Amino acid sequence: MKEFLKPYVLKLTLMVNVVFLIWHITLLAVFAEQQIWFMAGFNIFSVCIYSWTLHLLRHHETRGVIRMMYIELMLHMIVSVVCMGRYFGFLEYAFGILPIIMFDDYIAEKDRKQRSSIIMVLSVVVCYLGLSIWTVLEAPLYHFSSDTMGVVFRIANGTATVTMVGVYFLMFTHMVLGFEKELIRDASYDNLTGLANRRVFYEHREQLQKVENYCVFMLDVDNFKSINDTYGHDFGDKVLETMGELLEEWKHECDKLLALRWGGEEFVVIYCDPKLSREEKIIKMELLRRRVEQETVMVSGREMHFTVTIGASSEGEDDDVDALIALADSRMYFGKRQGKNRLIYTHDEWRKML
């Protein structure tokens, strides 16, 4: 089960368990007052079951609790219908058991065959049909002296069944929404560095076109192929992870900064803070370049340093953000040819170097 679901599932299962415990204590009192001792004794068994499941939930044994709820509800449905008949609403428990089986099947281990869940569903169907036929052919073993009590039971059991279905419907809805968020995040963020990817850039592209005085920086890790060839891909991955961590730290220190993993060992930073001039943004990125230069990467007791080359462009040089990225990329590659580990940022500087 996904980590983000565990607290929610535990909380809802605990809530359902407490409601069931209170309900069976109430049934125990009612049957004892009516002197239907067999049903009172059976509800003592149910109270013990739900008291034990509360203990299991403290140890996060959610699936074990769900299995015990399924068994208890099945037994309670069979015994109650045989003893009291269909009129009291216990047969409707079958509709509340089905979402429990679905949920049990979901939180089961991935390699578990679905044979057991199919058997559980079939057992509910067989019990429902069998008990329906029983109530037609046979009279119940016990009778209540008050018709009002039967109506109360029917309403209470119907409410309990609808509530149970509703709770698990909410649980499945929460799962779907959670998985949708995870899919969006997986599609929008790089798993290795944790940074946003090009998808996020294209989602914000139209907004960026309206921003004034923003700067674009293309960062490329120097000698990355050599790092992989010399130290191994674990070192290469660690370098990219470290670069992602440094950019995340930089985002917290700088306002309105979008950091992206553009692809491979390339990163894009779009700096939109209107309070800072172009020169101030470039100075901050130069400080980041020096910060990278001082960083140590360690894998399996071996350590190394790495550097980045940065190309910069600014909003005043072109109206299109894609053109600015291409310009920053060109300047970055020019910086590579000039010796790497540097920041190239103006046409004048570029021409001077040419």
Distance of CA 85 to the CA centre of its chain: 44
Residues 133 and 269 in one domain: no
Stated length of the chain = 354
Task: Return the pLDDT at 36.
Answer: 84
Q: Out of 92-101, 111-120, 156-165, 254-263, which region has the weakest mean confidence (pLDDT)?
A: 111-120
Helix/strand/coil percentages in the chain, nearest 5: 70, 10, 20
Task: Return the pLDDT at 353.
Answer: 42
- The DSSP bridge pattern shows strands 257-263 and 296-299 to be unpaired
Q: Return the biggest CA–CA distance within the chain.
A: 104
Residues 184 and 280 in one domain: no
What does the pLDDT look like over 121-143, one tens digit per residue? Answer: 899 999 999 999 998 998 888 87
Task: Return the pLDDT at 256.
Answer: 81
Domain, as residue range, for 348: 198-353
**Inside any domain, residue 193:** no
Percent of the chain with pLDDT over 90: 33
Task: Identify the band that residue 238 occupies on the pLDDT scale cut at 50, 70 and 90.
Answer: very high
**Inside any domain, residue 21:** yes
Token pair 């109506």: residue: 151
Task: Return the pLDDT at 85.
Answer: 87
Nearest CA among 252, 199, 246 for reference residue 219: 246
The token pair that represents 16 in the structure block: 């359902």
**Inside any domain, residue 225:** yes
Residues 184 and 202 in one domain: no
Residues 222 and 168 in one domain: no
Q: Are 292 and 273 in contact (CB under 8 A)?
A: no
Q: What is the enclosing helix (H) or strand (E) of 215?
A: strand 215-221
The alpha-carbon radius of gyration of the chain (Å, integer) is 33
HSE-CB of 70 using CA atoms within 13 angstroms: 21
Tell me if residue 327 falls in helix, strand or coil. Answer: helix
Residues 99 and 226 in one domain: no
Tell me if residue 305 falls in helix, strand or coil. Answer: strand
Residues 98 and 135 in one domain: yes
Mean pLDDT score of the chain: 85
Residues 176 and 203 in one domain: no
- Mean pLDDT, residues 257-273 taken together: 91
pTM for this one?
Answer: 0.59
Q: Are 45 and 51 in contact (CB under 8 A)?
A: no
Residues 232 and 90 in one domain: no
Q: Are 99 and 168 in contact (CB under 8 A)?
A: yes
Q: Are 20 and 43 in contact (CB under 8 A)?
A: no
Residues 348 and 299 in one domain: yes
Q: Out of 108-117, 140-149, 302-311, which region has the weakest mean confidence (pLDDT)?
A: 108-117
- The DSSP bridge pattern shows strands 343-344 and 308-314 to be parallel
Domain count, the chain: 2
- Please tell me the distance from the alpha carbon of residue 136 to that of residue 140, in angstroms, as a whole number: 10
**Inside any domain, residue 168:** yes
What does the pLDDT look like over 303-326, one tens digit per residue? Answer: 889 999 999 999 888 878 899 999
Tell me if residue 303 falls in helix, strand or coil. Answer: strand
HSE-CB of 263 using CA atoms within 13 angstroms: 4
Domain boundary among the residues 144, 169, 188 is at 188
Tell me if residue 211 falls in helix, strand or coil. Answer: coil
Residues 234 and 173 in one domain: no
Tell me if residue 283 falls in helix, strand or coil. Answer: helix
- Please tell me the distance from the alpha carbon of residue 313 to that of residue 209, in angstroms, as a whole number: 14
Residues 26 and 175 in one domain: yes
DSSP state of 213: S
Q: Provide the CATH number for the domain around residue 291.
A: 3.30.70.270
Phi, psi of 144 (to 5 degrees): -85, 145
Domain boundary among the residues 159, 188, 217 is at 188
Residues 346 and 232 in one domain: yes
**Inside any domain, residue 155:** yes
- Please tell me the distance from the alpha carbon of residue 179 to that of residue 4, in angstroms, as a whole number: 9
Domain boundary among the residues 167, 188, 209 is at 188
The token pair that represents 331 in the structure block: 């300047």
The token pair that represents 311 in the structure block: 């190309």
